[in-house]
Each structure stands twice: as structure tokens, then as C-alpha cells.
């Protein structure tokens, strides 16, 4: 008799805990401690001499694609970028080690957030074997030491469910809104201009951009432009003008990313059929595709193809 194995390789995911999500004390605690986990200054001016902002962007885009390819939890990429920024704020690093640092940060973040963390061997393959597993493990200890083993950083993703339950959103749109918010948060993580923004500000700004983009403000008056901004600002106890500037900056970064990539294709993939440039670009029906971030599909560096890349030409400005 022939036996068939019907076991499925499923990944276990933790369910939301209502005892945490529906307790305002949790939200207040997050708001109280969130700034402890931010770089306090622009390390490109004070610490780093060999690394430039465009190099960080290239490595961030590569890290984002690896996380997407491996179907990591949404929290892994923003958390990994938090580790990378905090490390670069205290340790002068050579540009040849930047991709190694990015791999280590993904390694640590996946251990904290994933039920099946990324392996050292797999991450080395994604660098086109330009680094070795032993090298990655050695750097893991270095990064842990510089971060003082303080890995439970607050990220924008920690605020999503708390904010969502306080907004009068249509139930049938919750999944779509959540996907758009995750996309905006990932976009912000690739841009150093957001590195020193409080995570709660990025989260609420992402909600504002997503709701406006999906045109959910047509039915409920509280979701109209200024009304929505006021409501979001009250949720996180921040200034309305600061939140409005954050949301506008998020929208500008998205438009810039579209133009740097393939605008017409990206607009079509987003369901608009238009080349973005003015407000109508935010009429989406599908989540923003990863191509809009200008990830390694559009990079003209390194050897290999796709997500397997050794970023060996970081010294070439404007790449």
C-alpha cells in the first residue's frame, strides 16, 4: 500500500491579543518609550565618513526585497532598519561592510519576529556569497554589543492596530488599508529622512496617506482631510502641523520613487492607468507593488540578478 504525506509546510503566525490592543495603557506606554530607540542625530554628518545616504538607500532596497522574497513578517524590515541606523549612529563603518551589516540586522530582526527566522546561510546566498556565514555570526555579536542587546525597539508597525481601532473605517476595507499602511511604512524605512521621526508619527502619517489615496473620505466626514489629521493627531498626542508635514513628505517620497523607477508601469500596476505627479496618482485599488520602491529590479549595480546581489559598486555616486 502506498502512503501519501499530506502535511503542509505552514508558517505559524501569532494572533492579535485583544487584551493588549484594547487597552489604552499599552498605547500610552509605546508613546512614552518610542524615542528611546531612535538615532539622535544625522550620523552622515557626525560619524560616517565612508558611507553616503544613497548607499543606505541601496542597501535598504535590497533588504526590503529579501524580506519580501522570504515572506517575512511585516515588522522585520522596519525593525532591521532601526538596528542599522542605531548601529551606524555609534560606529564608523566602511562601505564595504554595509551590506554585511544589513544582513546581520535582518538576521536579528527575524529572530525576534519570525517563528522561522532567516538562516545565516540563506542571507549569505542573497549577497551572492560575498560574505560568509561565520563572518555574519561574528558581526552579529558586534551589533548586539553596540545596541546593548536592546532589540525590542518600537516601530511604526506597533501602532497600526491601536490606530485602526480608533478610526471609523469601513470593515470591508480594513485589510486593504492595512496593506497600504504597511507599504508606506516600508517606504519610509528606505528613506533616511524618516529615520529620526517618532514611529507613531510615521504610522499616523501612513494612515493619512493611505486613507486619502483610497478615497475613503467620500462617505464619513471624520475621514475628510483636516478632520482626519486632527483625529490622528489626537490619537498619538502630537501637533497637527507636524503630522500634516509628515504625511505630505510620505506622499512626496512615493511620487519620487515612482519617477525614479518606471512611473507608467507602476501607475498601471497600482490600478490608476496614469503617470503620477499630482493628487490623482493616489487613486489605488490594489496595494502599492514593490517595484514602486525602486528596488533591485531597477538598480544597475552589483553582479548577479534579482534579489541575489553583491552591492559592490556602492562607491559609484548616483547609482
Under the banding of pLDDT at 50, 70 and 90, the label for residue 76 is very high
Longest dimension (CA), the chain: 72
The cell for 259 is: 519617477
| Percentage, residues of the chain above pLDDT 90 | 42
Q: Provide the strand spans (E) within 105-153.
A: none
Going by pLDDT thresholds of 50, 70 and 90, the confidence category of residue 280 is very low
Mean pLDDT (whole number) for 193-205: 92
Give 207-260 pLDDT, tens digit per residue.
Answer: 988 888 787 655 566 667 778 888 999 999 989 899 998 998 998 888 888 877
Which among 96, 101, 63 is positioned nearest to 83, based on CA atoms?
A: 101
Q: Quick check: 276 pLDDT over 50?
A: no
Residue 261: what pLDDT? 63
* Residue 289, pLDDT above cutoff 70: no
**H-only helix segments in the chain:** 18-21, 24-33, 43-46, 53-69, 76-88, 98-113, 120-126, 133-146, 160-164, 174-190, 199-213, 225-236, 240-260, 263-269
The whole-angstrom separation of Cα 46 and Cα 296 is 29
In the chain, pLDDT over 70 holds for what percent of residues? 75
Q: Residue 297's pLDDT is what? A: 33
DSSP states along 70-94: TT--TTHHHHHHHHHHHHHTTS---
Cell of 57: 538607500
- Give the per-residue pLDDT at 229: 86
Mean pLDDT for 43-56 is: 88
The string of pLDDT tens digits covering residues 262-273 is 333 233 334 333
| Separation between Cα atoms, residue 212 and residue 219, nearest integer Å | 12
Give the bridge partners for 303, in sequence order: 310
- Over range 56-76, report the average pLDDT: 92
Task: Kindly tell me if the per-residue pLDDT of 170 is higher than 70.
Answer: yes
Domains of the chain: 47-153+294-319 (1.10.472.10), 156-288 (1.10.472.10)
Average pLDDT over residues 291-300: 34
C-alpha–C-alpha distance, residues 202 and 78, integer Å = 11
> How many other CB atoms sit within 10 Å of the CB of residue 245?
13
pLDDT at 296 over 50: no
- pLDDT of residue 299 exceeding 50, the answer is no
pLDDT at 265: 29
Cell triple for 107: 538576521
What value does the mean pLDDT take over residues 133-143? 95
d(CA 126, CA 84) in angstroms, rounded, equals: 18
- How would DSSP label each residue in 147-191? TTT------GGGGHHHHHTTS---GGGHHHHHHHHHHHHHHHHH-
- Is pLDDT at 111 greater than 80 in this prediction? yes
Cell numbers 551589516 correspond to what residue?
101
The better pLDDT of the pair 293, 157 is held by 157
Predicted pLDDT at 3: 61
pLDDT at 87: 94
Confidence of residue 293 (pLDDT cuts 50, 70, 90): very low
State how far the Cα of 112 lies from the Cα of 119, in Å rounded to an integer: 13
Amino acid at each position: 500500500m502506498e502512503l501519501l504525506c499530506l502535511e503542509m509546510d505552514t508558517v505559524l503566525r501569532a494572533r492579535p491579543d485583544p487584551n493588549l490592543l484594547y487597552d489604552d495603557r499599552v498605547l500610552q506606554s509605546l508613546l512614552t518609550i518610542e524615542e528611546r530607540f531612535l538615532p539622535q542625530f544625522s550620523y552622515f554628518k557626525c560619524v560616517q565618513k565612508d558611507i553616503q545616504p544613497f548607499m543606505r538607500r541601496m542597501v535598504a532596497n535590497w533588504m526590503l526585497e529579501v524580506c519580501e522574497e522570504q515572506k517575512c513578517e511585516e515588522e522585520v524590515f522596519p525593525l532591521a532598519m532601526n538596528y542599522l541606523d542605531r548601529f551606524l549612529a555609534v560606529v564608523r563603518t566602511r562601505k564595504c561592510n554595509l551590506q554585511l551589516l544589513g544582513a546581520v540586522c535582518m538576521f536579528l530582526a527575524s529572530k525576534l519576529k519570525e517563528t522561522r527566522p532567516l538562516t545565516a546561510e540563506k542571507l549569505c546566498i542573497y549577497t551572492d556569497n560575498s560574505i560568509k556565514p561565520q563572518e555574519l555570526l561574528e558581526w552579529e555579536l558586534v551589533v548586539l554589543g553596540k545596541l546593548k542587546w536592546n532589540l525590542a525597539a518600537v516601530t511604526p508597525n506597533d501602532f497600526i492596530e491601536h490606530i485602526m481601532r480608533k478610526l471609523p473605517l469601513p470593515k470591508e476595507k480594513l485589510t486593504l488599508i492595512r496593506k497600504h499602511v504597511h507599504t508606506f511604512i516600508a517606504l519610509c524605512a528606505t528613506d533616511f529622512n524618516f529615520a529620526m521621526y517618532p514611529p507613531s508619527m510615521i504610522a499616523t502619517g501612513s494612515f493619512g496617506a493611505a486613507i486619502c489615496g483610497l478615497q475613503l473620505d467620500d462617505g464619513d466626514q471624520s475621514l475628510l482631510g483636516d478632520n482626519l489629521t486632527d483625529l490622528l493627531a489626537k490619537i498619538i498626542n502630537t501637533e497637527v502641523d507636524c503630522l500634516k508635514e509628515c504625511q505630505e513628505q510620505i506622499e512626496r517620497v512615493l511620487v519620487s520613487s515612482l519617477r525614479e523607477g518606471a512611473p507608467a508601469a507602476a501607475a498601471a500596476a497600482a490600478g490608476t492607468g496614469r503617470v503620477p505627479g499630482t493628487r490623482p496618482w493616489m487613486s489605488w485599488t490594489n496595494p502599492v507593488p514593490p517595484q514602486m520602491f525602486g528596488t533591485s529590479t531597477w538598480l544597475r549595480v552589483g553582479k548577479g540578478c534579482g534579489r541575489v546581489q553583491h552591492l559592490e559598486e556602492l562607491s559609484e555616486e548616483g547609482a
